[in-house]
A and B are shown apart, each in its own frame.
Chain A
């Protein structure tokens, strides 16, 4: 079957070991995660984990099914790239020892609508928000100046339109039943 990029949104109870339980399911089958981000939600007891990985549909569905069985998992949704808002935040520390170089970097930054978050005598730290392509293109350009550090958040995603992760479907009903089960 065709392997393509999938995004999994997972709501979990925020307790020690949750991330281990979730990441274990991926490593067990030897799947490498392209990106994972775990952050707070509107409920302090609940964390939302977003995972991007490559795989065929059946594999992803099986992973989602296994995730849903975990006691700590509240909800899982598989999103496709087309119907989700996907964003990533990148911080880049780049070398710019002279005024000329600084100016050049600042120009690039403004074209990309990125922002400078810190300046020192030799460096600029830049934050850029966007999808993977945008951050990649910026980094390619900045690479000429010398990238000192790159930190990415990993992608997070939310479905476009009115649908949310909380939606009740027959499948989520079956899995709620599965909760009973594990």
Chain B
């Protein structure tokens, strides 16, 4: 049937089950927004304060729901404002389809108003980019883009439509096609045929699995790493089965949060630079290290050459290019974490490793001291005790991020939403909005610091306008805490440009946006504030005044072995 090209865009989004779009309109994307107006009862559009906020929101929506996020922006500055959000999604393998419009064909490449080569700019930070010049390609390209974003190792893709392609008088042939059929038609079919792959992941190599089974049988001190791949493939149950059958300690990376129960007796906590003593000691002493869906980043393998030096390292990943990239491994299995772990679980008996576990768990951290001044620990403990256990936590980046991940227990994939790879300050509020809109029944906490909050705090306008009940918790230490900590430990206490003692009044700022806020300085006030926030049912900002010199512990310096703790 013949329909408007812009109508085909909406129909293709509906084919994918898209119900929410985050975005910001502008000149070149006017036609698409005009169509969106007609589809407003089928597709909800959230107008953010800034394109970056929209990008993070789409990302947060994707991470928390496991579905593909969608984000719209106009050409030029609209498109470039997305880039930090695109890169954040790319580094953390989050599936988001970004749709931008560009100038008309006749002005392409002539530096027209608000023109930028966004497909060129986005190339290094996306799985694929598409420049749509022929309106008839729209259905095919959108279908391909969604498939590419979601399949295998997920990630963002960008579709850039020339304005003339979206002309309201442009009619194209469109045949509705159920999502399952997409791979058998058009470009996707060509792509599959040429590369010889399928949208459903092929089975992992059976011999490779057998080899791991054998390595397990010979291991006396096995250890597991739960990486982001476990979360992305929703393989948490299979992973848990493996850990329990193996009776092996489990370290969880930042991206792996939610892949294995945080309070499970086998959990050693985070690994690497701010890893627990148990995790890092286990890693250094194990004889078999099975890493699932992790890429041994420099924050985990701070010293890649000496990482897990006594162990045979087995890497299970969906991305072949990750094998031997950062850490040299002894064996690898390529496949979807869930499928691989199922196969492994079916082939191994249950083991017991009491002595090994005793060694690992003998490295317990000492309990934090109580204090009259509010401590990060008290803030986190209060939240943990009062919020439901399935509360979704979205964080920004820095000390508060590490504290939150160390302290909270995440039990299911999508419960922790954090910018692990790219370390994007200002990620949290947008991500929390996306998470709340994707999970209206769950409590959503936005953990942030005074530095991060100021980066994208204007999204409080969006939170307020759409009445998105997020609880923002600001750790206000009046400094860029993590950088301050490094300066204190490694730069002789020369606090160059990290003093933030000139922040606005966050409570008043929240109120200016129409959001209730409260400043707390001790345990009792904190408890009251959380009670009030939970009862209110609308957005709420809690500003927690903490000491400037609070540190994230333990800490290993960049480039040093993970057992050389700079801070205990």
Q: Do chains A and B touch in the complex (CB under 8 A)?
A: yes
Which of A28, A65, A177 is B335 in contact with, Cβ under 8 Å?
A177
Alpha-carbon distance A176/B318, docked complex (angstroms): 11
Contact A174 B198 (CB under 8 A): no
Which of A24, A61, A178 is B123 in contact with, Cβ under 8 Å?
A24
Per-position 1/0 for A27-62, Cβ under 8 A of B: 010000000000000000000000000000010011
Of A67-75, A95-103, A142-150, which stretch is located at the interface? Answer: A67-75
Contact B153 A182 (CB under 8 A): yes
Alpha-carbon distance A20/B121, docked complex (angstroms): 11
Q: How many chain B residues touch the partner (CB < 8 A)?
A: 32
Alpha-carbon distance A16/B325, docked complex (angstroms): 29
Alpha-carbon distance A53/B70, docked complex (angstroms): 40
Which of B119, B123, B198, B325 is A180 in contact with, Cβ under 8 Å?
B198
Contact A178 B124 (CB under 8 A): no
B421 at the interface (CB under 8 A from A): no
Alpha-carbon distance A23/B201, docked complex (angstroms): 29
A179 at the interface (CB under 8 A from B): yes
Residues in B with CB closer than 8 Å to A62 are 321, 324-325
Contact B128 A68 (CB under 8 A): no
Given A28-B124, A62-B325, verify A17-B119 contact (CB < 8 Å): yes
Alpha-carbon distance A113/B236, docked complex (angstroms): 67
Contact A182 B124 (CB under 8 A): no
Residues in B with CB closer than 8 Å to A69 are 319-321
A175 at the interface (CB under 8 A from B): yes
Alpha-carbon distance A13/B202, docked complex (angstroms): 23
Contact B127 A176 (CB under 8 A): no
Contact B148 A182 (CB under 8 A): yes
Q: Please tell me the size bucket of the interface on A.
A: 20 to 34
Given A74-B194, A180-B201, verify A65-B320 contact (CB < 8 Å): yes
Mark out the residues of chain B between 208 and 244 whose CB falls within 8 Å of any chain A CB in the assembled complex: none
Contact A179 B195 (CB under 8 A): yes
Residues in B with CB closer than 8 Å to A16 are 131
Alpha-carbon distance A74/B195, docked complex (angstroms): 6
Contact B320 A71 (CB under 8 A): no
Given A62-B325, A71-B191, A74-B195, verify A178-B120 contact (CB < 8 Å): no
Contact B152 A181 (CB under 8 A): yes
Contact A182 B128 (CB under 8 A): yes
Contact A71 B197 (CB under 8 A): no
Given A28-B124, A69-B319, A71-B128, verify A180-B197 contact (CB < 8 Å): yes
Show the binding face of B for A, using Cβ within 8 Å: 119-120, 123-124, 127-129, 131, 148, 151-153, 155, 191, 194-199, 201-202, 205, 318-321, 323-325, 334-335
Sample 20 A-B pairs with CB under 8 A, ordered by A number: A17-B119, A17-B129, A17-B131, A20-B120, A24-B124, A61-B324, A65-B323, A69-B319, A71-B128, A71-B148, A170-B205, A177-B201, A177-B320, A179-B197, A181-B153, A181-B320, A182-B127, A182-B152, A182-B153, A182-B319
Show the binding face of A for B, using Cβ within 8 Å: 13, 16-17, 20-21, 24, 28, 58, 61-62, 65-66, 68-69, 71, 74, 170-171, 174-182
